[in-house]
Amino acid sequence: MATRFLGIQITRDRASRTISMSQMAYIESIISCFNLTDAKSISTPMTPSVAYSRKAAPSNPNEATHMKCVPYREAIGSLMYTSIATHPNITFAMLTLSQFLNNPGKAHWEAVKRVFRYLAATATLPGVQHAITAMPGAAVVATAPAAVAVVAVARCPTSPTPATAMTATAP
């Protein structure tokens, strides 16, 4: 079995019957690429009370010129890959911030840097973990770090009624 695939570290623990996927090396490389290695770590990917809008777009030519030099699209792309592969807990932030790819403002860029700071704080945690159960009718469970929903996927084919359950977990 491969231990690394597309930059994702895959770890299997036979004793606890789990498979973990992590992108710690990739996360560290993108944090370094965007010069945020010395940034202060934080515990949430977005500020809860802030609503981002197009009103934060550059309002004068100087701001627009400055924002053209900011690697906003590249940062969103790097974070989107992390979101899809191992960190679904930043998906909402990525969906919100990707709306401003054409004309991002300083507030949008600061929000992207906040997501990087959050990933720096959680990089050592496993991204996605799957618990494997051989019992008929048991669910396969996928979890992610922080306050993310835990989704139990449809039951095994031997189960008479497939079900999907969703519960929230606390950090």
Closest CA to 7 of 85, 73, 74: 85
Closest CA to 98 of 117, 85, 86, 83: 83
User: 26-78, pLDDT tens digit by residue?
Assistant: 999 999 999 998 888 898 999 988 888 888 888 888 988 999 999 999 999 99
Indicate if the pLDDT at residue 105 is higher than 90.
Answer: yes
Average of per-residue pLDDT across 77-83: 93
DSSP element (H, E) containing 119: helix 106-122
Segments in 11-163 forming alpha helices (H)? 24-33, 61-68, 72-85, 91-97, 106-122
Q: Which two tokens stand for residue 24?
A: 């710690």
Q: Which two tokens stand for residue 68?
A: 């053209």
Report residue 51: phi and psi, to 5°: -110, 120
The C-alpha atoms of residue 100 and residue 163 are separated, in whole angstroms, by 37
Q: Which pTM value belongs to this model?
A: 0.72
User: 5-19, pLDDT tens digit by residue?
Assistant: 888 888 888 888 778
